[in-house]
Structure 1
Amino acid sequence: MKNFKEKTAVIIFSLFFIFGCSEFQDNPHKAFNLDSGEFGKLIEKDSELYNTLQKTTSKKTLQEGEAPPCVEFIYPLSLKVYDRNQNPIGIKYILSDIEFSKILDNLSTDQSLSISYPISTTLADNTVYSVNNNTELSIALKNCTREDIIAYCNGLISPPLDRPLDYYWKVTYSQTLENTYLSGRFLINSNGTLVFYFNNQEYNGNWFFLFVDDKLHINIKLDGQSETAKYWSIDGAVEMNGTNITIKIADKNIKLQLIYETKNNYKIGDTGPAKGIVFYDKGKYTFGWRYIEVSKNDLKDSEWGCAGSAISTARNPEIGSGYFNTAQIINYHDLLANYYTNPAVCNSINNGSLLAKDVILFNQDIYDDWFIPSYGELELIYKNLYLNNLGNFTNSNYWSSTEADQNSAFTISFKTGEKITTPKIPEKNSTKARAVRYF
């Protein structure tokens, strides 16, 4: 990437928005025929982005060695100001750098602001870059050409692997987006090659960034002609937001989240990176993981799923299949019409709770990639932890994610060690569950 200090080009920002609230109908700037937009996340006073905006809009003389501003705003634009409790206290319509700079300089330390998105930016190479949020705004402020932006994104997507860390982009759960390959994860190399891990399979391929119709896109292609490879042969606009990427395609939007694992050595009974308890070590890293940890506490009482409905793709008992099973259970129920508010679409005796949904939304020590253990994984918890008085388990039945048939799933009685076929809708508080995760 070119040295920021050497960049003197201009980035032009255009913001488009419209407000339907009556308090803005008499605004003197309403004649600008502004399109709709949404305000982004808060920009705190004295944050890096806030300070960069101050330098951009200020006409003050630069100090020796300080990089010149790389952006110039096209006005009018809109800011929303918030009080110390993050309650909005007003909309500011800005017509010049002078007005913008004055607001930034006079904002009190306990106030913050947000900008209306999307923003279109003209880069130093006279091309346009579409910006959707604060993360992308920061990228634009630091990179003045498409070439620079692509290089920056490549560095973000495939961080250097010269430290004892593995960086993965996991297909993360979304209640509104595409979840077909939930539980999959990408390992990206600095040269653009990748390995995609899904359902105990590895798929090689590559991805790269490019611009299409002024928007940053990502192109992904997996080798071969499998259904997985066909699915991931995609080119889609990318929205980057912190450690999340949303790939926007006509018939599906896919959310990826960055996770990283420290390659420390663990033994059974150790505390894992997510503050769980390590109960399995397969001896080496394959399919993107080596260890499994289990959460410290039982989850709330929930039904396993829809009684009388078979989910044949969730019948895998093997070690390493729990995440895949859990994803299959969630996808099945999410595709039912309003199952969670109207469980009768499945069965009149279901109550709309779903253990798999509880687990996939579970968060412990910032980690949110938990799932229900497969039967084989649950058996390891019983043998390696419970029988050694580790993990604070009770003498109860515990759920696995492995379906037995359309009416039941496999559990283990921690009192006897017996494998049990348990109805998907058991007696209340009779069957417990723990969340587990790979690392």
Structure 2
Amino acid sequence: MAQILAPCTQWQMRITKSSTSACPMTAKMWNSLLFRQNKKGAIAKSAKFRVLAVKSENSTINRVEDLLNLDITPFTDKIIAEYIWIGGSGIDLRSKSRTISKPVEHPSELPKWNYDGSSTGQAPGEDSEVILYPQAIFRDPFRGGPYTDLTKLVHYSNFVMKVICDTYTPQGEPIPTNKRHKAAEIFRNPKVIAEVPWYGIEQEYTLLQTDVNWPLGWPVGGYPGPQGPYYCGAGADKSFGRDISDAHYKACLYAGINISGTNGEVMPGQWEYQVGPSVGIEAGDHIWGSRYILERITEQAGVVLSLDPKPIEGDWNGAGCHTNFSTKSMREDGGFEVIKKSILNLALRHKDHISAYGEGNERRLTGKHETASIDSFSWGVANRGCSIRVGRETEKQGKGYLEDRRPASNMDPYVVTSLLAETTLLWEPTLEAEALAAQKLALKV
């Protein structure tokens, strides 16, 4: 970190060639420093003053931080937009910034952009251009902005924003990692629109120490005490990374992410936050937006974010992304019968859902640690060891929602949310298959 050093004696610039002592000088001191005359007159023209780039524990001047906090509002009407997209692995997030000349009210007003897909594993080197289509806008908690009304993103002389994009070839075809395109088609279906699908997604994640890739709060190469006191726990020996969780919570609220809560999880160093209720494609946009914010916060904190569904093998809980789902018919009187019919459809398409619910999920869905086995489908009321859980209140009221506990923490929310809508609202099983599934699951619809 750069420091400005000046002679200590009364902060006077009475420097001689023999001067050797130096002490840190604050920015205010630098700006207000007056050249004084000594008894013999003005400072000799040959005297030299040096600015040294050294590190000191005292009076640190962080000029980079000053620039990051710089208010540019009085000087420009332009906007900084951070274009964000999903990389070649299907789970990594990439972004880059550009200047926009004026405020916008809708993502469609933003220009399309492009990037080098050969560097993200999404295009060959000889035809590497991938096109970014802006799809959703959020406020940027990292660069800030002069907001007075946090419910809007428009009519400000200067602000910054995060732009969630999906990805296309120059010919306008969605590339393979663009899962948003198909999801949007499903959510545009009139049958799906009429049912107003709601989602509440529980995103679990693990914080890892840098270099060693071992959970935060764990002794390096060792293990903490067994699970039990950590879930929603408080205290230095139970909670590891609360500042990151809290920072993420506030940053999401600032950004306009529909975050609804957060808590410490069962495995130490593991946390969860919830997003929703969100309608349709919005659920995927908000989860990806919240993941990007979490990546940036852990970057600044010097901690590694892991969405691996089973980051530590053994007697430890894995990390999931439980997805709560309901339709208009489920939420109305008689909705419990609609929920049971939906469970039948989900049972019949169990393999299709499992194959789309996250990489490495077989290490998590073992039938232990509050999971069902990956090889079989089950449902139950208030049973966290089932594939699908129905809450006691839903059973009591005769309407409500279901919770799909199968998705892994690294699932693509566009895939999971649209597949739930497709299976329960658009897909029709044969009567024979439905009868067999109902008998096996002891369901009457």
Task: Name the TM-score, length of structure 1 as normaliser.
Answer: 0.29
Q: Report which of the two has the higher share of helix.
A: 2
* Structure with the larger RCO, 1 or 2 (CA within 8 Å, 6+ apart): 2
